[in-house]
Structure 1
Amino acid sequence: MSAFMLPKGMFTLRGQCNEKDRHLLLNFKHTLVDPSTILSDWTRERDCCEWAGVRCDNTTGRVVELSLPCSPESSPPDGCDDEKSHCLTGDLNLSLLQLEFLNYLDLSNNDFQAIVQKGSEDVTNCDNMPFVHHPHSCENSSNLHYLDLSENENLYIDNIHWLSRVSSLKYLSLGGIDLQKEIDWLQLATLLPSLTELHLDGCSLRNINPSLPFVNFTSLEVLDLPFNAFSTQFLPHWLFNLSDLTVVDLRYNHFQGQLPKSLLNLRNIKELLLTDNKLSGLIPGWLGQLEYLQVLGFAGNMFCGPIPSTLGNLSSLIVLDVRSNYLNDSVPESLGQLLKLELLSLGDNHLTGHLTDRIFANLSNLEYLSMGSPGLIFDFHSLWVPPFQLEELILTNMTGPKLPPWIYTQTSLISLEIGSSRISFEPKDKFWGFATQLAKLELHDNWVKGDMSNVLLDNRWIILDSNKFESGLPRLSPNVVLFSASDSSFQGSLSPLLCQKMNGNSQLRYIDLSNNSLSGELTDCWMKWKSLVIVKLSNNNLTGTIPPSLSFLSNLTILQLDKNVLFGKIPFSLKNCQNLQILDLEENKLSGSIPNWIGHNVKVLLLRSNQLSGTIPLRICQLFSLTILDLADNKISGSIPTCLHNMTAMAFPPSSITRMPSFCFTALSDTLVFVDSVMLHAKGQGLIYKKHLQLVRAIDLSSNNMSGTIPPGLFSLNQLQFLNLSHNQFEGNIPREIGGLKQLESLDLASNRLSGEIPPSLAQLTFLGTLNLSFNNFSGKIPSGTQLQGFDPQCYAGNSELCGAPLQKNCTDQQDMEPIEGNNSQGDEFLPSFYIGLGVGFATAFWGVNVAIFFNRNVRHSYFRFLYYIRDELYVTMVLRMNCFRR
């Protein structure tokens, strides 16, 4: 199947391709990398109207559409982000905009790196184009109505001024492209007078000109700006003058303040999404006047007070989402008038009073319901049967003795979430039997007791995190895809779960049993779970060796067995796990040497706090994707391999190659993303990195028996942020190349045998926030500059020959006069020779004059006559001056 999706209606034409259009398309192809050879038929021997993704006008033969979006269908089922290795990459050539009859351009979801205009000089110079027959052939497209470059996450765009060349645009989407350097995006967008839809979601935009009263969006209907970095004291004034707007999406920004009444100017508004901002104050009652409103999303803000009863007047409302605010008072019964309501989310507020079935009596279209607050009492009649059949139900902060009985009437339910509740699930057989029909079951932060060891779970998605089961693990059917039960007080062995008999092959891809009290061995039944992609068993009491059967998990990308009591060698059989990207075995009792078979896909290698010995294998240098290496607190000896500069992932900015593995599960319309987290020991403490793990670059070799010098090539890894070589036996100087680590935030070289002066280039590391050079043999003056003088003196303790701020020991004058590195030592010998020569010359002249006066009579008489003459002259001058003073 092709890696690209061509739009419906795409067909091959037999017309003659326009020569200029062919030339421009080939310019576009020339700067691309095409790993899937989707453009293999783009040759001069074939009519360009027959090329993949190209559609021409049937009459003129001019190119009118180019559609090459990369299909997500080639992505692995576990990947959250589309895997882009099959997509177009390289440079995006803007010469495409000179296709003057082009009206549709879709290059979304590819992996373009930069925007260029290579080859366009050949096109814009009409004199060099023999096929040009009229003066307007070199103009930009005046017909382009649709432009979609979204989801090219690695595309570098520092400005969008080129948009002025396509003023006919009606639809523009640049979602997912980093545009933070473009501060004039709003003014540039207003140069598109026909624009009806503007999609700039997730573009890292910051400037929205909130005080600007008016912008020239005369035709704009859809304004899509979620997931940016806007942070203002109020919503932008100009927004409320765009009376034709039907959709406003400002979710996940940092807007503050209250809702202005000028919002009523958006009389045609159908969707208003302000989820996850910092808006505050009351939800105003006048919102009930927006008669066309269908979607109202205020979740994740700081609204307080009651839910306005006037919201019941919004007869067209389909979605009402006010969860995660500070709303109080009772739920108004007027919400029961919203007959078209399909989604109602009230949870995680401070609502009080009784929630009865009267509010829901007429809501027959309801499909999604979220409710629950600590002061809200569920007061449903025991025999009540709702008029709706829910697909998703979220109940939180329940304190009743049992679940509301009406839940068991929901035969269409796909997802059930119960959190932060003290409620009984008895009778157990009834609840777990009902739960079997669900695709998603999530019980979190509850006080749930009872033996789970005899329960068979058949849901595809099961989350039982942060409960108090205090029992053995449940059994899983082959249908389970995700099972997460961390921090839930599970006890006993893994064997009943992993070694159970199953009818059919397991589909389990994700298992997380970390932070429990599991004991015993890892068991050797992993061959039954070949579909596993992520295994997390951290922080238990598991013992024994790592079993060979783990090698059957050929799809494994994350293996976390840290903080257990495992011993023995790291088995060679793990070599079969060629897709492994995160291997975390730290804080066990593993022995032997560091494996030299580690797969080239590994990005995070954590072997800290074991009993590993031997040297660092040269194989480490071949891990081109490695971004985090932690071998601290072992018994490793030998020197640092000089080839570490080959770990190129630490030398280049983050890209799709260094993206961390994650797990996605889609149910209904939602996709839940599990992003892995690891603990890194940086800046003198243990820090958990999750969301930004793929941005971290770290090497920690501390607390070993390593020796030798620090190779300068280590400092070519210029994206390195954390470097710890402390508590070893390294010798020699700090290479001056350390100044190349411009991103370095933490440097620890303490307790080694390093000597010489601290290189001045260290003072140039502007991001350096943690430094420890203590207990070495450094000497000389600490290089000047606020960077190194700003650290605590303890950072330099144990170096008796160091001087200068921030130490109290001042450098002597002689030290101040010592040559800096690179000066010629001959200059140091000049001053003593100069002073000796000066003394000898003075003595020679003095005695030469005296000898001449003593032995030569004529000279002697002339000399004394000269002295008498000088005496007489001085006397006359003095008398004259005294007479002047008397007058």
Structure 2
Amino acid sequence: MKTHTILPVSFFSSCLWFLLVSSLCNFCFCDLNSDPVLCIPTERLALIDLKISLTNHAYRLSSWAGKDCCSWPGVVCDNITGHVHEIHLRGPELINGLYGTNEIEETRKQRLGGTISPSVIKLSQLRYLDLSCNDFGNGSIPALTGSFQNLIHLNLSCSHFRAEVPHQLGNLSTLRVLDLHDCPNYIDAYVVPPTNLEGLHSKSLVWLKNLQGLQYLDMGFTDLTNASDWFPVVNNLTSLQELHFSLCGLNRLLSNPTTGSFTSLIALDLSYNYFDSMMLPGWIFILRNLTLLDLTYCWFRGVTPGTHGGFHNMPSLRTLILSGNAFVLSSFFLNGLSSLSNLRRLDFSYCDISSPILGKLQNLSLIEHVDLSENWMVEEIPKSLSNLCNITTLILSFNEFSGNVSELLERFCDCESPKLEILDFYKNHLIGQLPERLGNLKNLISIDLSFNQLTGAIPESIGQLSKLYSLQLQNNSLTGILPERLGNLKNLSLIDLSYNQLTGTIPDSIGSLSLLWALWFSNNRFSGSIPNTITIGGLSSLNSLDLSNNKLNGSLPESIERLSNLQELILDHNSLTGILMENHFVNLKSLKYLWVGDNKLVFKLNVNNWIPPFKLVQLSAGSCSLGPQFPSWIQSQTNLEWLDVSNTNISDTIPNWFWTTFPSVVT
């Protein structure tokens, strides 16, 4: 007979507690060993579709993989719900003039292209979308962009969109920032630029009426020529703080608008528009909250009659750009400058101003950028100018300023922490010498004191300007030898010392400037030979070399062929001797201008029927030796426009092919 052992209740309780604790431990360990996936699956698939629809040669979106889309670069999710709130896919910005060919190509590779997948509509909680600085191949802005009901920030600028701006953007009732501006490559400052007919355009801005929460609006370079309703529509956007309508083809600006949102603006940019009335409306001067006013090349010649306000009514201004407007000629407006104590940037270039103005800047202690170029200002530079120790950019070119540059720069050196970066006094009447302490202005990236009356030597301390990008001192009366420490300027791209009285040899250290694009030393008194360091490959970026009209002697180093980017080789009017052979030119595939005339060089090309790797536009070889036969290699230079082979020991007759190949060449 089987007997049953009755276990105490405490035993069952212990077992239950053991099982419970074991379960909790298993749960905790599982939770520790796996990260929770926040991403919503449908939104992850929408992002995958977006990745597929976009193209990119640099594989920027290759990291968009795995289950948790909230951890992908450029994607921001809500920490609780997991909904995608933000997409940041801004491409690299391309700044003209600051990049070489390789950098431009690399920038283009980094930009996204292709199309925007319709699946993005599934990102129903999206609040921030930035696709700026990409390249969508002149496609249209998708109408579906107007479906993001929660969108606050939309930036599609500089991404090569074209066609009509979709009116569906008017459905984005929560939008606060809308940036659709284009980024053109060039603006001609001397003419009224044409409207951007091939880019974005809009026949009416009535769709903006629903965006009553909009605070920032930039439609620069969008053709609004036919949008006659732009002013009343924008004037009724009650929350608007910044308006940027540069180069939009606007032609009408109301002189007496009804009270509207303009009075609350802090930034107004109407630059590069040519309004029918050439009179600036007086209501501009009642915008007391403005921190930025840009009317570049609006060509206003005066202000509407009865205007009583002026700059003294705009105490908040930090940026004032009025380039190309003659209304500032009035002393009434110029006198108001001294009251703008918050001003950081002032641009009155191309305004036909002849009255003294520099003395009115002495109280603007916060000023950082001053451009008064292309005027007729007759004024001695006041000592007070160098008290502006926060200034980074000082452009006074093309004026009639006088004074001693030594005193001015010495006083800038006395600043506790000099911030000067750009100094441009091109074409004035300055005298004096470059101070020994010039190297103390360590933030300088550009110096242009050309076409003045400077004397003396270039100081050794210039080698301390490690950030210097451009040095232009041409057309002065500088003397002495070049400092060896010029080779320390590793960021130098342009150096122009032509038309001075500099002597001595060209320092070997110049050959270490690997970023140098242009080296112009013409019309001086340099002697000795061309340094091998210039031609052995150190100047790998060199595009233009001009050593003409000096006293250089010796032969041209065969290593000149290593300057593979060279387009201009200008060595005429020296005392160079020696033989030029095919090896000198073997890698000069980009060469377009070859000026070696008035030397004693001998072209000795041993290869029969030699065809140069280059296509010259101009060839000057007068007084060199090319003969006795007429050089057959010239026949391959089909781009030739100008030719000088006078006194070159050619005793041959001019071949018939010359007249058929070059019917209009100038000789």
TM range (shorter): 0.5 to 0.7
Q: Give how far 1:292 is off.
A: 0.9
Instruction: Say whether 1:108 aligns with 2:151.
Output: no
Q: Which residue of structure 2 aligns with residue 496 of structure 1? A: 556
Instruction: Say whether 1:561 aligns with 2:616.
Output: yes
Instruction: Say whether 1:402 aligns with 2:456.
Output: yes
Q: Which residue of structure 1 aligns with residue 293 of structure 2? A: 248
Q: Which residue of structure 2 aligns with residue 270 of structure 1? A: 318
Q: Give how far 1:313 is off.
A: 1.2
Shift in CA distance, 373/612, structure 1 to aligned 2, threshold 3 Å: closer
Shift in CA distance, 360/635, structure 1 to aligned 2, threshold 3 Å: closer
Say which structure is richer in strand: 1
Question: Residue by residue, what CA displacement relative to the aligned partner does 1:728-763 show, whole Å, maximum 9, x if unpaired?
Answer: xxxxxxxxxxxxxxxxxxxxxxxxxxxxxxxxxxxx
Indicate if the aligned counterparts of 2:60 and 2:110 stay in contact, CA closer than 8 A: no
Q: 2:88 aligns with which of 67, 77, 81?
A: 67
Secondary structure of 2:556's partner? helix
Alignment of 1:379-398 (within 5 A): 388-389=441-442, 391=444, 392-398=446-452
Question: Residue by residue, what CA displacement relative to the aligned partner does 1:467-486 show, whole Å, maximum 9, x if unpaired?
Answer: 42487755516443335245
Inter-partner Cα distance in structure 1 for 2:317 and 2:285: 11
Q: Which residue of structure 2 aligns with residue 437 of structure 1? A: 488
Indicate if the aligned counterparts of 1:352 and 1:375 stay in contact, CA closer than 8 A: yes
Q: Which residue of structure 2 aligns with residue 309 of structure 1? A: 359
Secondary structure of 1:326's partner? coil
Q: Which residue of structure 2 aligns with residue 423 of structure 1? A: 477
Shift in CA distance, 111/212, structure 1 to aligned 2, threshold 3 Å: farther
Indicate if the aligned counterparts of 1:94 and 1:116 stay in contact, CA closer than 8 A: no
Q: Which residue of structure 2 aligns with residue 667 of structure 1? A: none
Alignment of 1:17-36 (within 5 A): 17=40
Question: Residue by residue, what CA displacement relative to the aligned partner does 1:506-540 show, whole Å, maximum 9, x if unpaired?
Answer: 7874552259569974742456x7xx895432566
Q: Give how far 1:158 is off.
A: 1.8
Q: Give how far 1:312 is off.
A: 0.7
Indicate if the aligned counterparts of 2:299 and 2:326 stay in contact, CA closer than 8 A: yes
Q: Which residue of structure 2 aligns with residue 156 of structure 1? A: 199
Inter-partner Cα distance in structure 2 for 1:173 and 1:95: 27
Query: Which amino acid in the other structure matches residue 430 of structure 2?
Result: L
Q: 1:211 aligns with which of 255, 259, 267?
A: 255
Instruction: Say whether 1:89 aligns with 2:113.
Output: yes
Inter-partner Cα distance in structure 1 for 2:232 and 2:606: 61
Question: Residue by residue, what CA displacement relative to the aligned partner does 1:610-662 show, whole Å, maximum 9, x if unpaired?
Answer: 9879xxxxxxxxxxxxxxxxxx95399xxxxxxxxxxxxxxxxxxxxxxxxxx
Question: Residue by residue, what CA displacement relative to the aligned partner does 1:83-121 show, whole Å, maximum 9, x if unpaired?
Answer: 536633355689979966433221111222232546789
Shift in CA distance, 41/303, structure 1 to aligned 2, threshold 3 Å: same
Indicate if the aligned counterparts of 1:242 and 1:266 stay in contact, CA closer than 8 A: yes
Instruction: Say whether 1:634 aligns with 2:661.
Output: yes
Indicate if the aligned counterparts of 1:285 and 1:311 stay in contact, CA closer than 8 A: no
Secondary structure of 1:513's partner? strand
Instruction: Say whether 1:328 aligns with 2:378.
Output: yes
Inter-partner Cα distance in structure 1 for 2:73 and 2:223: 29
Secondary structure of 2:310's partner? helix
Q: Give how far 1:268 is off.
A: 0.9
Shift in CA distance, 538/333, structure 1 to aligned 2, threshold 3 Å: same
Secondary structure of 2:354's partner? strand
Number of residue pairs matched?
547
Indicate if the aligned counterparts of 2:479 and 2:503 stay in contact, CA closer than 8 A: no
Inter-partner Cα distance in structure 1 for 2:329 and 2:279: 12
Instruction: Say whether 1:338 aligns with 2:388.
Output: yes
Shift in CA distance, 339/41, structure 1 to aligned 2, threshold 3 Å: closer
Inter-partner Cα distance in structure 1 for 2:352 and 2:501: 31
Indicate if the aligned counterparts of 2:176 and 2:215 stay in contact, CA closer than 8 A: yes
Alignment of 1:828-867 (within 5 A): none
Q: Give how far 1:288 is off.
A: 0.7
Shift in CA distance, 240/612, structure 1 to aligned 2, threshold 3 Å: farther
CA RMSD of superposed structures (Å): 5.4
Shift in CA distance, 60/401, structure 1 to aligned 2, threshold 3 Å: closer
Query: Which amino acid in the other structure matches residue 512 of structure 1?
Result: E
Q: 1:233 aligns with which of 259, 278, 288?
A: 278
Q: Give how far 1:270 is off.
A: 1.2
Shift in CA distance, 521/351, structure 1 to aligned 2, threshold 3 Å: same
Q: 2:568 aligns with which of 512, 516, 535?
A: 512
Q: Which consecutive unaligned segments of at least 5 residues does structure 2 have? A: 1-34, 150-168, 185-195, 622-630, 644-653
Inter-partner Cα distance in structure 2 for 1:169 and 1:72: 25
Please say which of residues 363-372 and 402-411 is displaced more in the overlay: 402-411
Query: Which amino acid in the other structure matches residue 322 of structure 2?
Result: L
Q: Which residue of structure 2 aligns with residue 827 of structure 1? A: none
Please say which of residues 473-482 and 517-526 is displaced more in the overlay: 517-526
Query: Which amino acid in the other structure matches residue 211 of structure 1?
Result: S
Shift in CA distance, 464/511, structure 1 to aligned 2, threshold 3 Å: same
Q: Give how far 1:290 is off.
A: 0.8
Query: Which amino acid in the other structure matches residue 338 of structure 1?
Result: L
Alignment of 1:353-392 (within 5 A): 353-354=403-404, 357=407, 361=411, 362-364=414-416, 365-368=418-421, 369-371=423-425, 374-378=428-432, 388-389=441-442, 391=444, 392=446
Secondary structure of 2:261's partner? coil
Inter-partner Cα distance in structure 2 for 1:241 and 1:187: 18
Q: Which residue of structure 1 aligns with residue 156 of structure 2? A: none
Alignment of 1:465-614 (within 5 A): 465=520, 467-469=522-524, 475=532, 476=534, 478-480=537-539, 481-486=541-546, 488-489=548-549, 496-499=556-559, 509-513=565-569, 516=572, 521=580, 523-525=582-584, 534-538=590-594, 560-564=615-619, 567-568=632-633, 585-587=639-641
Q: 1:292 aligns with which of 315, 333, 342?
A: 342
Secondary structure of 2:316's partner? coil
Question: Residue by residue, what CA displacement relative to the aligned partner does 1:303-353 show, whole Å, maximum 9, x if unpaired?
Answer: 112125232111222233323321112122332442433433334310235
Indicate if the aligned counterparts of 1:93 and 1:118 stay in contact, CA closer than 8 A: no
Question: Greater Rg, structure 1 or structure 2?
Answer: 1
Q: Give how far 1:226 is off.
A: 5.1
Indicate if the aligned counterparts of 1:105 and 1:147 stay in contact, CA closer than 8 A: no
Q: Give how far 1:289 is off.
A: 0.4
Normalised by the length of structure 1, the TM-score is: 0.50
Percent identical pairs in the alignment equals 23
Query: Which amino acid in the other structure matches residue 443 of structure 1?
Result: D
Normalised by the length of structure 2, the TM-score is: 0.64
Indicate if the aligned counterparts of 1:255 and 1:279 stay in contact, CA closer than 8 A: yes
Q: 2:499 aligns with which of 446, 453, 457?
A: 446
Inter-partner Cα distance in structure 2 for 1:208 and 1:13: 58
Q: 1:56 aligns with which of 77, 87, 99?
A: 77
Instruction: Say whether 1:14 aligns with 2:62.
Output: no
Q: Which residue of structure 1 aligns with residue 516 of structure 2? A: 461
Shift in CA distance, 229/87, structure 1 to aligned 2, threshold 3 Å: farther
Q: Give how far 1:32 is off.
A: 5.7
Inter-partner Cα distance in structure 2 for 1:349 and 1:242: 32
